[in-house]
Chain A
Amino acid sequence: MIGDIAFGQFIPGKSPLHRMDPRVKIVLIFLFIVFLFVAQNFVALALPVLAALAAIFLSGVPLRQYLKSVKAVIFIVLFTSVLNLFYGGGQTLLKLGFMEIKSGGVSNAIFIAVRILTLILLSAVLTFTTSPNSLTDAIERLMKPLKVFHVKVHEIAMIMTIALRFVPTLLEETDKIMSAQKARGADLESGGLVQRAKALLPILIPLFVSSFRRAYDLAMAMECRCYHGGEGRTKMKVLHAGKGDAAACAVSCLLCAAVIVCNILLPGSLT
């Protein structure tokens, strides 16, 4: 069933990371991602990498899940690393015609590869351990200060919630429409790009029409249940950060401070 793919992201569990306040989790992961880019030498880079490894260990999610998410982007990682091989100074290691690979290039390539891989792993930790609902909920609360600038925070979160809710429904519907069109002799698999794109039209149009119908129905159902925007609205689930969250914050801040110290004390590795 295609519906399962879209929701294969969140892996339910009871690990310390699953129990963490999603707001804290988002902020800390974001912090580490920033510091991945702040780090200028291998020692400094090692700190957020260590944090990522610790998070992976604490998440209790099987390693093969992480490997899967790395596999999905391995091409991009290789591509950027290979490009970086040809930059940077230092000793010449290899000469390929007019291009040469220098020692600086090798270290650059490794540095960048580690950076991207860690970035992927950190975001995987977030999506694996946080349900889509807590994620939107946390984003809504984190963005609340933006209300001052007239950002429609509640509306954005509502849109995300509804989108998440309807992804499987619409996938299922696409499946049905495709079968229906195939049963009428539609050929979706052969032909060139243009032909295939044309063949998609009889699928997209009914899907569009039915989506509008659904949107109309849903809006009415929401109004029937007294929906009138974010004003005066409460939430069943209250988020509260506990001792574990405080500890995680403290450790993370220390690590980030260490990254800055390493940056100052040691020479940069990127050339």
Chain B
Amino acid sequence: MSEFISAQDVSFAYDPEEGQAPRNVLEGVSMRIRRGEFVALLGHNGCGKSTMAKLFNAMLLPTGGKVFVDGMDTVDEAVLYEIRRRVGLVLQNPDNQLVASVVEEDVAFGPENLGVPPEEIRRRVDEALKAVEMYDFRLNAPYKLSGGQKQRVAIAGIIAMQPDCIVLDEPTAMLDPRGRSEVLRTIHRLNREQGITIVLITHYMDEAVQADRVIVMDDGNVLTEGTPREVFSQVELLKKHQLDVPQATELTYRLRGMGFPMPCTLNEEECVEALAAYLPPVQAG
């Protein structure tokens, strides 16, 4: 897989408040996002995940180092809108991302900004709404939708710009379990069927487990990265940095600590399988 976003030794500081020295939020972070992969970005509160997301689509520019999107430097003003089109950013609160009072008009907002011809916008809007399974709601008012539905409309608004990559900053943080699974199913399908690169920032470990690759950040640095199994098998390291691991992993980890030789498990099924090996077989009858 070729490289799509590459952050090279990026540092970043927000404009300091008056009389204070600027404080680096990111200090020399390097990471790569490959085309078509599903990456989960983890880290405790305030470690710079959202900042990283905004650097990916040129909402913020690095104070040191470089960010390239498909070979384009994000500081190059000439390609600013091309970068924002290719890397769509979905934010946490779905209420504050929807612009229009009709669903389909909101989805049309992005393509309208790009100057796409009207018939083409119509086609894209219908396609995008079908892709997130919200086509039947196209004439509804956003405020009458559930949180999960709103967030799917927000995703459709990004898809209508035909991006190569969608970065989602805690898209499920304000949703109930049902809305959460709707949104997750949608982004996994977009990744699988349309080959859209996904960067998912989350605090839910069960969401991270389903990614192709996990990157863990800690106070402006990359702590570790790898497949979910590689990352979550380092339970001590994660714990030391106040990070959770999936519950199944936690359980087998503790049992291992009590002297049961157990593999590292990532989800309920694996965990059940590992536990079953220790239980006496059930007597039939």
| Interface pair A234/B116, CB less than 8 Å apart | yes
Q: Any chain A CB within 8 A of the CB of B89? A: yes
Q: Which of B59, B91, B98, B121 has a CB less than 8 Å from the CB of A236?
A: B121
Q: Is the interface of B mostly helix, strand, loop or mixed?
A: helix
**B115:A232 contact, CB within 8 angstroms:** yes
Which stretch from A47-55, A77-85, A213-221, A242-250 is at the chain B interface?
A213-221
A interface: dominant SS: helix
* Cβ-based interface call for A57 (8 A): no
**A224-B122 contact in complex given A133-B100, A161-B100, A236-B112, C-beta closer than 8 Å:** no
Q: Mark A223-241, 1 if CB is under 8 A from B, else 0.
A: 1111110001111111000
Question: Which chain A residue lies CB-closest to B87?
Answer: A224
Known: A225-B109, A234-B111, A237-B105. 10 other contacts (CB 8 A): A132-B101, A165-B99, A165-B100, A218-B96, A218-B97, A226-B85, A228-B81, A232-B115, A235-B118, A236-B111
Q: Once the chains are docked, how many angstroms separate the CA of A225 from the CA of B112?
A: 10
Residues on B close to A: CB < 8 A? 57, 59, 81, 84-85, 88-89, 91, 93, 95-102, 104-105, 108-118, 121-122, 125, 141-143, 154, 157-158, 161
How far is it, in angstroms, between the C-alpha of A3 and the C-alpha of B116 when the chains are bound? 34
* Residues in chain B near residue A213, CB distance under 8 A: 96
Tell me, in angstroms, the Cα distance from A222 to B157 when the chains sit together: 11
Which 4 pairs from chain A and chain B are nearest by CB? A217-B96, A236-B108, A221-B97, A225-B110
What is the minimal beta-carbon distance from B126 to any residue of chain A, in angstroms? Answer: 11
Tell me whether A172 is interfacial, beta carbon within 8 Å: yes
A-B contact count (CB 8 A): 95
- Evaluate contact between A234 and B158: CB separation under 8 angstroms: no
Bound Cα distance from A214 to B100, whole angstroms = 14
Chain A residues contacting B100 (CB-CB under 8 Å) are 133, 161, 165
Contacts of B57 in A (CB 8 A): 224
Q: Are B110 and A164 within 8 A (Cβ)? A: no
| Residues of B contacting A236 in the complex (Cβ-Cβ under 8 angstroms) | 104-105, 108, 111-112, 118, 121-122, 125
Give B41 Cβ to nearest chain A Cβ, in Å: 17
- In Å, the complex CA distance between A222 and B85 comes to 12
For the complex, what is the distance from the CA of A230 to the CA of B100, rounded to whole Å?
16
Contact present for B113 and A226 (CB under 8 Å): yes
A257 interface residue per 8 A CB criterion: no
Pairs A–B under 8 Å by Cβ, sample size 11: A3-B143, A133-B100, A133-B101, A168-B141, A214-B95, A217-B93, A221-B154, A224-B59, A226-B114, A228-B113, A234-B121
Chain B residues whose C-beta falls within 8 Å of the C-beta of A7 in the assembled complex: 141
Chain A 99-143 against B: per-residue CB contact (8 Å), 1 yes, 0 no?
Answer: 000000000000000000000000000000001110000000000
Please name all residues of chain B whose beta carbon is closer than 8 Å to the beta carbon of A233 when the two chains form the complex. 112-113, 115
User: A165 contacts B101, CB within 8 Å?
Assistant: yes
A217 to B154, CA, bound (A): 13
A161 and B122: CB pair below 8 A? Answer: no
CB within 8 Å for A221 and B96 given contacts A132-B101, A232-B115, A236-B105: yes
Shortest CB–CB separation between residue A76 and chain B, in angstroms? Answer: 30
User: Contact at A133–B105, with CB atoms within 8 Å?
Assistant: yes
Query: Which chain A residues lie closer than 8 Å to B93 at the CB level?
Result: 217
B101 proximity list for chain A (CB < 8 A): 132-133, 161, 164-165
